[in-house]
Structure 1
Protein backbone atom coordinates (compact mmCIF):
# COMPACT_ATOMS: atom_id res chain seq x y z
CA UNK A 1 0.00 0.00 0.00
CA UNK A 2 1.40 3.40 -0.97
CA UNK A 3 2.05 5.58 2.06
CA UNK A 4 3.68 8.75 0.68
CA UNK A 5 1.34 10.86 -1.43
CA UNK A 6 2.06 14.25 -2.98
CA UNK A 7 -1.06 16.31 -3.70
CA UNK A 8 -0.64 18.64 -6.67
CA UNK A 9 -2.84 21.74 -6.49
CA UNK A 10 -3.00 25.39 -7.46
CA UNK A 11 -1.16 25.94 -10.70
CA UNK A 12 -1.56 29.08 -12.79
CA UNK A 13 -4.69 28.48 -14.85
CA UNK A 14 -7.95 30.39 -14.50
CA UNK A 15 -9.06 27.60 -12.16
CA UNK A 16 -6.26 28.06 -9.62
CA UNK A 17 -8.53 28.98 -6.69
CA UNK A 18 -10.84 26.04 -7.37
CA UNK A 19 -7.84 23.70 -7.39
CA UNK A 20 -6.49 25.05 -4.10
CA UNK A 21 -9.80 24.37 -2.38
CA UNK A 22 -10.27 20.87 -3.79
CA UNK A 23 -6.59 20.01 -3.28
CA UNK A 24 -6.70 21.01 0.38
CA UNK A 25 -9.83 18.89 0.91
CA UNK A 26 -8.17 15.88 -0.76
CA UNK A 27 -4.98 16.32 1.27
CA UNK A 28 -6.95 16.50 4.53
CA UNK A 29 -8.93 13.37 3.62
CA UNK A 30 -5.78 11.43 2.74
CA UNK A 31 -4.03 12.53 5.92
CA UNK A 32 -7.04 11.43 7.97
CA UNK A 33 -6.66 7.96 6.42
CA UNK A 34 -3.08 7.73 7.66
CA UNK A 35 -1.11 8.69 4.56
CA UNK A 36 2.00 10.88 4.70
CA UNK A 37 0.89 13.82 2.58
CA UNK A 38 2.98 16.50 0.90
CA UNK A 39 1.09 19.48 -0.52
CA UNK A 40 2.55 21.00 -3.67
CA UNK A 41 1.27 24.34 -4.97
CA UNK A 42 2.45 24.01 -8.56
CA UNK A 43 4.28 27.02 -10.00
CA UNK A 44 5.63 27.72 -13.47
CA UNK A 45 9.14 26.89 -12.23
CA UNK A 46 9.09 23.15 -12.79
CA UNK A 47 12.51 22.80 -11.17
CA UNK A 48 10.78 23.46 -7.85
CA UNK A 49 8.40 20.56 -8.52
CA UNK A 50 11.32 18.30 -9.38
CA UNK A 51 13.07 19.30 -6.15
CA UNK A 52 10.02 18.55 -4.00
CA UNK A 53 9.46 15.18 -5.65
CA UNK A 54 13.13 14.27 -5.29
CA UNK A 55 13.14 15.29 -1.61
CA UNK A 56 9.89 13.54 -0.65
CA UNK A 57 9.96 10.60 -3.08
CA UNK A 58 6.18 10.11 -3.14
CA UNK A 59 4.81 6.70 -4.04
CA UNK A 60 2.07 8.41 -6.03
CA UNK A 61 0.98 11.93 -7.00
CA UNK A 62 -2.66 12.83 -6.41
CA UNK A 63 -3.50 15.27 -9.18
CA UNK A 64 -5.90 17.92 -7.84
CA UNK A 65 -5.06 20.48 -10.52
CA UNK A 66 -7.80 21.95 -12.70
CA UNK A 67 -7.76 23.68 -16.05
CA UNK A 68 -4.94 24.21 -18.51
CA UNK A 69 -1.53 22.72 -17.65
CA UNK A 70 -3.10 20.53 -14.95
CA UNK A 71 -5.72 18.49 -16.79
CA UNK A 72 -4.77 18.92 -20.43
CA UNK A 73 -1.90 16.44 -20.61
CA UNK A 74 0.96 18.80 -19.72
CA UNK A 75 1.58 17.81 -16.11
CA UNK A 76 0.77 14.21 -17.02
CA UNK A 77 3.63 14.30 -19.53
CA UNK A 78 6.02 15.69 -16.92
CA UNK A 79 5.08 12.96 -14.45
CA UNK A 80 5.41 10.33 -17.18
CA UNK A 81 8.97 11.48 -17.86
CA UNK A 82 9.76 11.40 -14.13
CA UNK A 83 8.32 7.91 -13.85
CA UNK A 84 6.04 8.92 -10.96
CA UNK A 85 2.61 7.23 -10.83
CA UNK A 86 -0.34 9.63 -10.63
CA UNK A 87 -4.09 9.58 -10.25
CA UNK A 88 -6.79 10.30 -12.84
CA UNK A 89 -6.40 10.10 -16.61
CA UNK A 90 -3.16 9.90 -18.54
CA UNK A 91 -1.66 12.29 -21.07
CA UNK A 92 -3.69 11.40 -24.17
CA UNK A 93 -7.12 11.17 -22.53
CA UNK A 94 -6.49 14.41 -20.64
CA UNK A 95 -5.40 16.28 -23.77
CA UNK A 96 -8.30 15.08 -25.92
CA UNK A 97 -10.96 15.69 -23.26
CA UNK A 98 -9.67 19.23 -22.72
CA UNK A 99 -10.05 19.95 -26.44
CA UNK A 100 -13.85 20.14 -26.43
CA UNK A 101 -14.23 20.16 -30.22
CA UNK A 102 -11.99 17.11 -30.66
CA UNK A 103 -13.76 15.25 -27.86
CA UNK A 104 -17.13 15.99 -29.49
CA UNK A 105 -15.96 14.29 -32.68
CA UNK A 106 -15.20 11.14 -30.70
CA UNK A 107 -18.53 11.28 -28.88
CA UNK A 108 -20.49 11.70 -32.09
CA UNK A 109 -18.56 8.84 -33.73
CA UNK A 110 -19.61 6.75 -30.72
CA UNK A 111 -23.25 7.67 -31.38
CA UNK A 112 -23.54 10.12 -28.48
CA UNK A 113 -25.52 13.26 -29.46
CA UNK A 114 -23.86 16.65 -28.90
CA UNK A 115 -25.17 20.20 -29.49
CA UNK A 116 -24.50 21.53 -33.01
CA UNK A 117 -21.60 23.96 -33.05
CA UNK A 118 -18.30 25.06 -34.51
CA UNK A 119 -14.91 26.34 -33.48
CA UNK A 120 -14.28 29.97 -34.42
CA UNK A 121 -11.69 32.66 -33.86
CA UNK A 122 -12.19 35.72 -31.69
CA UNK A 123 -12.05 37.79 -34.87
CA UNK A 124 -14.96 35.90 -36.43
CA UNK A 125 -16.93 36.26 -33.21
CA UNK A 126 -16.30 40.01 -33.19
CA UNK A 127 -17.69 40.27 -36.72
CA UNK A 128 -21.18 39.31 -35.54
CA UNK A 129 -23.40 36.36 -34.73
CA UNK A 130 -21.98 33.10 -36.04
CA UNK A 131 -25.32 31.32 -35.64
CA UNK A 132 -28.86 32.27 -34.73
CA UNK A 133 -29.26 32.97 -30.99
CA UNK A 134 -29.60 31.57 -28.44
CA UNK A 135 -26.16 29.99 -28.41
CA UNK A 136 -23.35 29.36 -25.96
CA UNK A 137 -19.84 30.78 -26.30
CA UNK A 138 -17.00 29.12 -24.40
CA UNK A 139 -13.23 28.65 -24.61
CA UNK A 140 -12.42 25.39 -26.38
CA UNK A 141 -9.86 24.41 -23.74
CA UNK A 142 -10.97 25.60 -20.31
CA UNK A 143 -13.07 23.99 -17.59
CA UNK A 144 -15.19 24.98 -14.58
CA UNK A 145 -17.43 27.07 -16.88
CA UNK A 146 -14.65 29.68 -17.12
CA UNK A 147 -15.51 32.17 -19.86
CA UNK A 148 -18.86 30.53 -20.68
CA UNK A 149 -21.60 32.91 -21.88
CA UNK A 150 -25.14 32.52 -23.12
CA UNK A 151 -25.95 34.81 -26.06
CA UNK A 152 -29.66 35.58 -26.25
CA UNK A 153 -31.74 36.95 -29.14
CA UNK A 154 -31.43 40.72 -29.12
CA UNK A 155 -27.93 40.77 -27.60
CA UNK A 156 -25.96 43.32 -29.61
CA UNK A 157 -22.66 43.09 -27.75
CA UNK A 158 -21.06 39.67 -27.66
CA UNK A 159 -19.01 38.55 -24.61
CA UNK A 160 -15.32 39.11 -25.28
CA UNK A 161 -13.58 40.33 -22.14
CA UNK A 162 -12.76 36.97 -20.54
CA UNK A 163 -12.33 34.93 -23.71
CA UNK A 164 -8.74 33.82 -24.34
CA UNK A 165 -6.95 35.93 -26.94
CA UNK A 166 -5.39 33.91 -29.73
CA UNK A 167 -7.10 30.67 -28.74
CA UNK A 168 -10.07 28.94 -30.37
CA UNK A 169 -13.59 29.52 -29.13
CA UNK A 170 -16.39 26.95 -29.27
CA UNK A 171 -19.85 28.19 -30.24
CA UNK A 172 -22.75 25.78 -29.69
CA UNK A 173 -26.51 25.92 -30.06
CA UNK A 174 -28.12 26.50 -26.66
CA UNK A 175 -30.08 23.47 -25.53
CA UNK A 176 -33.08 24.44 -23.42
CA UNK A 177 -34.03 22.29 -20.48
CA UNK A 178 -32.07 20.84 -17.58
CA UNK A 179 -28.43 20.43 -16.55
CA UNK A 180 -27.45 16.85 -15.71
CA UNK A 181 -24.13 15.37 -14.65
CA UNK A 182 -22.93 11.78 -14.26
CA UNK A 183 -19.85 10.62 -12.37
CA UNK A 184 -17.99 7.55 -13.60
CA UNK A 185 -15.56 5.47 -11.55
CA UNK A 186 -13.66 2.78 -13.40
CA UNK A 187 -16.23 1.49 -15.86
CA UNK A 188 -19.30 2.17 -13.71
CA UNK A 189 -21.60 5.20 -13.66
CA UNK A 190 -22.43 6.17 -10.08
CA UNK A 191 -25.54 8.35 -10.33
CA UNK A 192 -27.26 11.12 -12.27
CA UNK A 193 -27.40 14.52 -10.58
CA UNK A 194 -29.48 17.49 -11.71
CA UNK A 195 -28.03 20.98 -11.20
CA UNK A 196 -30.58 23.75 -10.82
CA UNK A 197 -29.13 27.27 -10.74
CA UNK A 198 -31.35 29.58 -8.72
CA UNK A 199 -31.23 32.19 -11.44
CA UNK A 200 -29.91 32.50 -14.95
CA UNK A 201 -27.38 30.23 -16.61
CA UNK A 202 -25.22 27.56 -14.96
CA UNK A 203 -21.98 29.53 -15.19
CA UNK A 204 -18.83 29.83 -13.03
CA UNK A 205 -20.65 31.85 -10.35
CA UNK A 206 -23.54 29.39 -10.15
CA UNK A 207 -21.09 26.49 -9.96
CA UNK A 208 -18.82 27.76 -7.18
CA UNK A 209 -20.86 30.18 -5.06
CA UNK A 210 -22.63 28.66 -2.07
CA UNK A 211 -26.39 28.84 -2.32
CA UNK A 212 -26.49 29.61 -6.06
CA UNK A 213 -27.36 26.09 -7.26
CA UNK A 214 -29.44 23.19 -5.94
CA UNK A 215 -28.00 19.70 -6.48
CA UNK A 216 -30.58 16.93 -6.79
CA UNK A 217 -29.26 13.36 -6.56
CA UNK A 218 -30.72 11.21 -7.89
CA UNK A 219 -32.06 13.53 -10.57
CA UNK A 220 -35.87 13.60 -10.84
CA UNK A 221 -35.95 12.09 -14.32
CA UNK A 222 -37.34 8.89 -15.78
CA UNK A 223 -35.47 5.62 -15.34
CA UNK A 224 -35.00 5.40 -19.11
CA UNK A 225 -33.29 8.80 -19.34
CA UNK A 226 -31.18 8.06 -16.26
CA UNK A 227 -29.99 4.79 -17.80
CA UNK A 228 -29.26 6.54 -21.10
CA UNK A 229 -27.23 9.29 -19.39
CA UNK A 230 -25.20 6.71 -17.45
CA UNK A 231 -24.64 4.66 -20.59
CA UNK A 232 -23.43 7.71 -22.52
CA UNK A 233 -21.15 8.71 -19.62
CA UNK A 234 -19.46 5.30 -19.46
CA UNK A 235 -19.09 5.12 -23.25
CA UNK A 236 -17.54 8.60 -23.34
CA UNK A 237 -15.18 7.66 -20.49
CA UNK A 238 -14.04 4.62 -22.46
CA UNK A 239 -13.76 6.23 -25.90
CA UNK A 240 -11.54 8.97 -24.44
CA UNK A 241 -9.43 6.37 -22.62
CA UNK A 242 -10.08 7.92 -19.21
CA UNK A 243 -8.63 6.33 -16.09
CA UNK A 244 -10.05 6.30 -12.58
CA UNK A 245 -12.83 8.87 -12.41
CA UNK A 246 -14.49 11.28 -14.81
CA UNK A 247 -17.64 13.37 -14.95
CA UNK A 248 -19.90 13.78 -17.97
CA UNK A 249 -22.07 16.89 -18.31
CA UNK A 250 -25.34 16.91 -20.24
CA UNK A 251 -28.28 19.06 -21.26
CA UNK A 252 -31.67 17.35 -21.19
CA UNK A 253 -34.31 19.10 -23.28
CA UNK A 254 -37.75 18.00 -22.09
CA UNK A 255 -39.36 21.38 -22.72
CA UNK A 256 -41.52 20.25 -25.64
CA UNK A 257 -41.94 16.51 -25.24
CA UNK A 258 -41.39 13.70 -22.76
CA UNK A 259 -39.06 11.92 -22.95
CA UNK A 260 -36.90 14.69 -24.31
CA UNK A 261 -33.51 14.77 -26.01
CA UNK A 262 -30.23 14.23 -24.18
CA UNK A 263 -27.04 15.97 -25.35
CA UNK A 264 -23.52 15.52 -24.03
CA UNK A 265 -21.62 18.75 -23.41
CA UNK A 266 -18.21 17.51 -22.26
CA UNK A 267 -16.27 15.12 -20.05
CA UNK A 268 -14.15 16.39 -17.16
CA UNK A 269 -11.15 14.20 -16.34
CA UNK A 270 -10.46 16.06 -13.06
CA UNK A 271 -13.92 16.25 -11.43
Structure 2
Protein backbone atom coordinates (compact mmCIF):
# COMPACT_ATOMS: atom_id res chain seq x y z
CA UNK A 1 0.00 0.00 0.00
CA UNK A 2 1.11 3.57 -0.51
CA UNK A 3 2.07 5.65 2.49
CA UNK A 4 -1.24 7.48 2.80
CA UNK A 5 -2.84 7.52 6.24
CA UNK A 6 -6.46 8.30 6.96
CA UNK A 7 -7.39 10.93 9.52
CA UNK A 8 -7.00 10.00 13.21
CA UNK A 9 -10.00 8.10 14.60
CA UNK A 10 -10.04 10.09 17.83
CA UNK A 11 -9.40 13.70 18.72
CA UNK A 12 -10.04 13.74 22.48
CA UNK A 13 -7.15 12.50 24.68
CA UNK A 14 -9.53 11.30 27.36
CA UNK A 15 -10.44 8.26 25.24
CA UNK A 16 -7.09 6.68 26.17
CA UNK A 17 -7.59 6.91 29.92
CA UNK A 18 -4.46 6.71 32.05
CA UNK A 19 -1.47 5.59 29.95
CA UNK A 20 1.73 3.94 31.15
CA UNK A 21 4.79 4.67 29.01
CA UNK A 22 6.92 1.60 29.61
CA UNK A 23 10.62 2.43 29.29
CA UNK A 24 14.09 1.78 30.65
CA UNK A 25 14.30 -1.68 32.18
CA UNK A 26 17.48 -3.53 33.07
CA UNK A 27 18.58 -4.79 29.63
CA UNK A 28 21.41 -3.77 27.34
CA UNK A 29 19.22 -1.21 25.56
CA UNK A 30 18.20 0.66 28.71
CA UNK A 31 19.74 4.03 27.81
CA UNK A 32 18.20 4.09 24.35
CA UNK A 33 14.82 3.09 25.81
CA UNK A 34 15.00 5.90 28.35
CA UNK A 35 15.61 8.40 25.55
CA UNK A 36 12.80 7.00 23.43
CA UNK A 37 10.43 6.85 26.37
CA UNK A 38 11.03 10.44 27.40
CA UNK A 39 10.28 11.56 23.86
CA UNK A 40 7.03 9.57 23.76
CA UNK A 41 6.01 10.78 27.23
CA UNK A 42 6.56 14.43 26.32
CA UNK A 43 4.73 14.02 23.01
CA UNK A 44 1.66 12.36 24.52
CA UNK A 45 1.46 14.93 27.29
CA UNK A 46 1.71 17.72 24.71
CA UNK A 47 -1.49 16.30 23.17
CA UNK A 48 -3.25 16.18 26.53
CA UNK A 49 -2.86 12.45 27.20
CA UNK A 50 -2.67 11.41 30.87
CA UNK A 51 0.67 9.63 30.41
CA UNK A 52 3.14 8.49 33.07
CA UNK A 53 6.59 6.89 32.88
CA UNK A 54 7.01 3.36 34.26
CA UNK A 55 10.56 2.01 34.45
CA UNK A 56 10.77 -1.72 33.79
CA UNK A 57 8.52 -4.74 33.96
CA UNK A 58 8.38 -5.27 37.77
CA UNK A 59 7.18 -1.69 38.24
CA UNK A 60 4.62 -2.17 35.48
CA UNK A 61 3.33 -5.40 37.04
CA UNK A 62 2.84 -3.66 40.39
CA UNK A 63 1.03 -0.76 38.74
CA UNK A 64 -1.26 -3.10 36.78
CA UNK A 65 -2.13 -5.07 39.94
CA UNK A 66 -2.96 -1.77 41.63
CA UNK A 67 -5.26 -0.81 38.73
CA UNK A 68 -3.34 2.37 37.94
CA UNK A 69 -3.40 2.23 34.12
CA UNK A 70 -5.86 1.66 31.29
CA UNK A 71 -3.32 0.97 28.53
CA UNK A 72 0.41 0.84 27.87
CA UNK A 73 2.64 2.52 25.31
CA UNK A 74 5.50 0.03 25.18
CA UNK A 75 8.84 1.59 24.32
CA UNK A 76 10.92 -0.89 26.32
CA UNK A 77 13.55 -1.90 23.75
CA UNK A 78 14.82 -5.45 23.70
CA UNK A 79 14.51 -8.12 26.38
CA UNK A 80 11.15 -8.50 28.07
CA UNK A 81 9.80 -5.47 26.25
CA UNK A 82 9.97 -7.21 22.88
CA UNK A 83 10.12 -10.94 23.58
CA UNK A 84 6.46 -11.49 24.47
CA UNK A 85 6.79 -11.25 28.25
CA UNK A 86 5.20 -7.79 28.56
CA UNK A 87 2.63 -8.64 25.93
CA UNK A 88 1.61 -11.83 27.74
CA UNK A 89 1.41 -10.06 31.10
CA UNK A 90 -0.84 -7.35 29.75
CA UNK A 91 -2.96 -9.75 27.74
CA UNK A 92 -3.61 -11.78 30.92
CA UNK A 93 -4.94 -8.68 32.65
CA UNK A 94 -6.82 -7.35 29.63
CA UNK A 95 -4.71 -4.19 29.35
CA UNK A 96 -4.24 -2.95 25.75
CA UNK A 97 -0.66 -2.39 24.63
CA UNK A 98 0.93 -0.77 21.60
CA UNK A 99 2.65 -2.92 19.00
CA UNK A 100 2.62 -6.63 18.28
CA UNK A 101 1.14 -9.31 20.49
CA UNK A 102 2.84 -12.29 22.12
CA UNK A 103 3.55 -14.27 18.94
CA UNK A 104 4.94 -11.49 16.77
CA UNK A 105 7.00 -10.05 19.61
CA UNK A 106 8.52 -13.36 20.70
CA UNK A 107 9.27 -14.52 17.17
CA UNK A 108 10.92 -11.36 15.87
CA UNK A 109 13.03 -10.95 19.00
CA UNK A 110 14.76 -14.10 17.78
CA UNK A 111 16.49 -13.26 14.50
CA UNK A 112 17.21 -16.90 13.66
CA UNK A 113 13.60 -18.08 13.98
CA UNK A 114 12.36 -15.01 12.11
CA UNK A 115 14.62 -15.86 9.18
CA UNK A 116 13.40 -19.47 9.26
CA UNK A 117 9.80 -18.27 8.95
CA UNK A 118 10.71 -15.94 6.08
CA UNK A 119 12.47 -18.73 4.25
CA UNK A 120 9.42 -20.99 4.65
CA UNK A 121 7.34 -18.22 3.05
CA UNK A 122 9.78 -17.79 0.18
CA UNK A 123 10.83 -14.31 1.31
CA UNK A 124 14.44 -13.26 0.56
CA UNK A 125 16.96 -13.17 3.41
CA UNK A 126 20.74 -13.72 3.48
CA UNK A 127 22.15 -17.21 4.09
CA UNK A 128 23.02 -17.80 7.71
CA UNK A 129 24.28 -20.23 10.32
CA UNK A 130 22.78 -20.81 13.77
CA UNK A 131 25.55 -20.91 16.37
CA UNK A 132 24.79 -22.60 19.69
CA UNK A 133 27.05 -21.83 22.67
CA UNK A 134 30.42 -23.45 22.07
CA UNK A 135 29.99 -23.60 18.28
CA UNK A 136 33.04 -23.32 16.02
CA UNK A 137 32.85 -19.84 14.48
CA UNK A 138 35.81 -20.52 12.18
CA UNK A 139 34.10 -23.55 10.63
CA UNK A 140 30.78 -21.70 10.25
CA UNK A 141 32.42 -18.72 8.54
CA UNK A 142 34.36 -20.98 6.20
CA UNK A 143 31.12 -22.75 5.26
CA UNK A 144 29.18 -19.54 4.62
CA UNK A 145 32.06 -17.69 3.01
CA UNK A 146 33.48 -14.33 4.05
CA UNK A 147 32.50 -11.58 4.66
CA UNK A 148 29.94 -12.21 7.42
CA UNK A 149 28.22 -10.52 10.33
CA UNK A 150 28.11 -12.20 13.72
CA UNK A 151 25.43 -11.03 16.14
CA UNK A 152 23.38 -12.29 19.10
CA UNK A 153 20.10 -13.78 17.91
CA UNK A 154 18.11 -11.99 20.62
CA UNK A 155 19.64 -8.53 21.05
CA UNK A 156 19.07 -5.21 19.30
CA UNK A 157 20.55 -1.72 18.77
CA UNK A 158 23.70 -3.28 17.24
CA UNK A 159 24.70 -4.71 20.62
CA UNK A 160 27.37 -7.38 20.20
CA UNK A 161 27.54 -7.14 16.40
CA UNK A 162 30.81 -7.98 14.63
CA UNK A 163 31.64 -7.22 11.01
CA UNK A 164 34.06 -9.91 9.81
CA UNK A 165 35.71 -9.34 6.45
CA UNK A 166 38.21 -12.20 6.65
CA UNK A 167 39.36 -14.87 9.08
CA UNK A 168 41.87 -12.41 10.50
CA UNK A 169 38.93 -10.28 11.78
CA UNK A 170 37.10 -13.15 13.51
CA UNK A 171 38.88 -13.24 16.87
CA UNK A 172 36.84 -10.48 18.62
CA UNK A 173 33.64 -12.36 17.74
CA UNK A 174 35.16 -15.61 19.03
CA UNK A 175 36.04 -13.92 22.32
CA UNK A 176 32.54 -12.45 22.62
CA UNK A 177 30.96 -15.83 21.89
CA UNK A 178 33.01 -17.46 24.63
CA UNK A 179 31.32 -15.28 27.25
CA UNK A 180 27.83 -15.13 25.71
CA UNK A 181 25.23 -17.61 26.93
CA UNK A 182 22.76 -17.34 24.06
CA UNK A 183 22.70 -18.33 20.41
CA UNK A 184 24.55 -16.31 17.81
CA UNK A 185 23.54 -15.65 14.23
CA UNK A 186 26.24 -15.66 11.57
CA UNK A 187 24.93 -14.11 8.38
CA UNK A 188 26.39 -13.53 4.95
CA UNK A 189 27.20 -9.86 4.55
CA UNK A 190 25.07 -8.00 2.03
CA UNK A 191 26.97 -5.51 -0.10
CA UNK A 192 24.73 -2.66 -1.11
CA UNK A 193 22.22 -0.14 0.20
CA UNK A 194 21.01 -0.33 3.80
CA UNK A 195 17.30 0.47 4.07
CA UNK A 196 14.60 0.50 6.71
CA UNK A 197 10.83 0.65 6.34
CA UNK A 198 8.51 1.82 9.11
CA UNK A 199 5.13 0.12 9.40
CA UNK A 200 1.98 1.67 10.85
CA UNK A 201 -0.97 -0.71 10.68
CA UNK A 202 -1.29 -1.75 7.05
CA UNK A 203 0.82 1.12 5.74
CA UNK A 204 4.49 1.02 4.76
CA UNK A 205 6.09 4.41 5.32
CA UNK A 206 8.64 5.73 2.82
CA UNK A 207 11.91 3.84 3.06
CA UNK A 208 15.01 5.43 4.52
CA UNK A 209 18.40 4.73 2.97
CA UNK A 210 21.10 4.91 5.62
CA UNK A 211 24.51 6.25 4.65
CA UNK A 212 26.92 6.19 7.61
CA UNK A 213 30.13 8.20 7.49
CA UNK A 214 32.07 5.09 8.50
CA UNK A 215 32.15 1.67 6.91
CA UNK A 216 28.90 0.44 8.46
CA UNK A 217 25.88 1.39 10.55
CA UNK A 218 27.06 0.47 14.07
CA UNK A 219 25.88 1.60 17.52
CA UNK A 220 27.87 4.84 17.30
CA UNK A 221 26.39 5.74 13.91
CA UNK A 222 22.86 4.96 15.17
CA UNK A 223 22.79 6.83 18.47
CA UNK A 224 25.77 9.15 18.79
CA UNK A 225 27.13 10.41 15.46
CA UNK A 226 25.65 13.44 13.75
CA UNK A 227 27.18 12.74 10.33
CA UNK A 228 25.07 9.71 9.36
CA UNK A 229 22.89 10.52 6.35
CA UNK A 230 19.24 9.43 6.22
CA UNK A 231 17.79 9.71 2.73
CA UNK A 232 14.00 9.52 2.62
CA UNK A 233 12.53 8.25 0.44
CA UNK A 234 15.52 6.02 -0.09
CA UNK A 235 14.62 4.64 -3.51
CA UNK A 236 12.92 5.48 -6.79
CA UNK A 237 9.07 5.43 -6.85
CA UNK A 238 9.03 2.03 -8.55
CA UNK A 239 11.49 0.53 -6.06
CA UNK A 240 9.64 2.16 -3.15
CA UNK A 241 6.55 0.13 -4.05
CA UNK A 242 8.61 -3.05 -4.12
CA UNK A 243 10.39 -2.54 -0.80
CA UNK A 244 7.16 -1.42 0.90
CA UNK A 245 5.32 -4.54 -0.25
CA UNK A 246 8.21 -6.77 0.87
CA UNK A 247 8.37 -5.10 4.29
CA UNK A 248 4.63 -5.56 4.83
CA UNK A 249 4.83 -9.21 3.75
CA UNK A 250 7.73 -9.82 6.15
CA UNK A 251 5.92 -8.03 8.99
CA UNK A 252 2.75 -10.07 8.52
CA UNK A 253 4.55 -13.39 8.02
CA UNK A 254 6.19 -12.91 11.41
CA UNK A 255 2.82 -12.38 13.11
CA UNK A 256 3.40 -8.68 13.76
CA UNK A 257 0.79 -5.94 14.05
CA UNK A 258 0.29 -2.35 15.17
CA UNK A 259 3.56 -0.71 14.29
CA UNK A 260 7.19 -1.62 13.80
CA UNK A 261 10.18 -1.36 11.51
CA UNK A 262 11.59 -3.79 8.96
CA UNK A 263 15.28 -3.58 8.08
CA UNK A 264 16.21 -4.46 4.50
CA UNK A 265 19.40 -4.51 2.44
CA UNK A 266 19.60 -4.17 -1.34
CA UNK A 267 22.35 -6.50 -2.49
CA UNK A 268 24.11 -5.48 -5.70
CA UNK A 269 23.60 -9.01 -7.06
CA UNK A 270 20.66 -10.59 -5.19
CA UNK A 271 18.34 -7.61 -4.83
CA UNK A 272 16.32 -6.90 -1.69
CA UNK A 273 17.17 -9.02 1.36
CA UNK A 274 15.28 -9.00 4.66
CA UNK A 275 17.42 -8.55 7.78
CA UNK A 276 15.19 -8.21 10.84
CA UNK A 277 12.04 -6.74 12.40
CA UNK A 278 11.89 -4.36 15.34
CA UNK A 279 8.54 -4.39 17.18
CA UNK A 280 9.36 -1.49 19.52
CA UNK A 281 11.40 0.81 17.26
CA UNK A 282 13.52 3.62 18.59
CA UNK A 283 11.87 6.99 19.13
CA UNK A 284 14.98 9.06 19.89
CA UNK A 285 16.18 12.14 18.01
CA UNK A 286 18.18 9.81 15.74
CA UNK A 287 15.42 7.26 15.21
CA UNK A 288 14.09 6.25 11.83
CA UNK A 289 10.33 5.75 12.10
CA UNK A 290 9.80 9.41 13.13
CA UNK A 291 11.95 10.49 10.18
CA UNK A 292 9.86 8.44 7.74
CA UNK A 293 6.57 9.65 9.26
CA UNK A 294 7.71 13.25 8.87
CA UNK A 295 8.17 12.59 5.15
CA UNK A 296 4.38 12.17 4.80
CA UNK A 297 3.58 15.13 7.04
CA UNK A 298 3.18 13.36 10.38
CA UNK A 299 5.12 14.99 13.20
CA UNK A 300 6.47 13.15 16.25
CA UNK A 301 3.48 13.82 18.50
CA UNK A 302 1.02 12.80 15.78
CA UNK A 303 2.96 9.57 15.27
CA UNK A 304 2.77 8.73 18.97
CA UNK A 305 -0.96 9.46 18.94
CA UNK A 306 -1.48 7.17 15.95
CA UNK A 307 0.47 4.33 17.55
CA UNK A 308 -1.50 4.67 20.78
CA UNK A 309 -4.77 4.92 18.88
CA UNK A 310 -4.25 1.40 17.50
CA UNK A 311 -4.76 0.02 21.03
CA UNK A 312 -8.48 0.82 20.68
CA UNK A 313 -10.14 -1.74 18.37
CA UNK A 314 -12.30 -0.43 15.55
CA UNK A 315 -15.32 -2.33 16.93
CA UNK A 316 -15.02 -0.38 20.19
CA UNK A 317 -15.04 2.88 18.28
CA UNK A 318 -18.17 1.83 16.38
CA UNK A 319 -20.29 1.31 19.52
What is the TM-score of this pair, normalised by structure 1?
Answer: 0.91
The separation in 1 between residues aligned to 2:140 and 2:62, in whole angstroms, is: 49
Residue 23 of structure 2 is matched in structure 1 by: 9
**1:119 aligned counterpart, secondary structure:** strand
Pick aligned residue for 2:146 from 117, 121, 133: 133
Pick aligned residue for 2:37 from 10, 19, 23: 23
User: What runs of 5+ residues in structure 2 fail to find an aligned partner?
Assistant: 1-14, 282-319
The separation in 2 between residues aligned to 1:200 and 1:6, in whole angstroms, is: 39
Residue 75 of structure 2 is matched in structure 1 by: 64
- Name the one with the larger helix percent: 2
The separation in 1 between residues aligned to 2:78 and 2:227, in whole angstroms, is: 22
Residue 73 of structure 1 is matched in structure 2 by: 84
RMSD: 1.8
Q: Is the 8 A contact 1:119 1:170 kept in 2?
A: yes
1:115-152 deviation per Cα after TM superposition (whole angstroms, max 9, x unaligned): 00111134224555533221000000111111111101
Moved over 6 A (4+): none
What is the TM-score of this pair, normalised by structure 2?
Answer: 0.78
The separation in 2 between residues aligned to 1:90 and 1:262, in whole angstroms, is: 27
User: What runs of 5+ residues in structure 1 fail to find an aligned partner?
Assistant: none
Q: Is the 8 A contact 1:124 1:130 kept in 2?
A: no
The separation in 1 between residues aligned to 2:170 and 2:108, in whole angstroms, is: 32
The separation in 1 between residues aligned to 2:136 and 2:186, in whole angstroms, is: 9
| Higher RCO (CA-CA < 8 Å; seq separation 6+) | 2
Pick aligned residue for 2:97 from 83, 86, 89: 86
**1:150 aligned counterpart, secondary structure:** strand
- Name the one with the larger strand percent: 1
The separation in 1 between residues aligned to 2:112 and 2:93, in whole angstroms, is: 30
Q: Is the 8 A contact 2:141 2:148 kept in 1?
A: no
Q: Give, in angstroms, the shift of residue 237 of structure 1.
A: 1.4
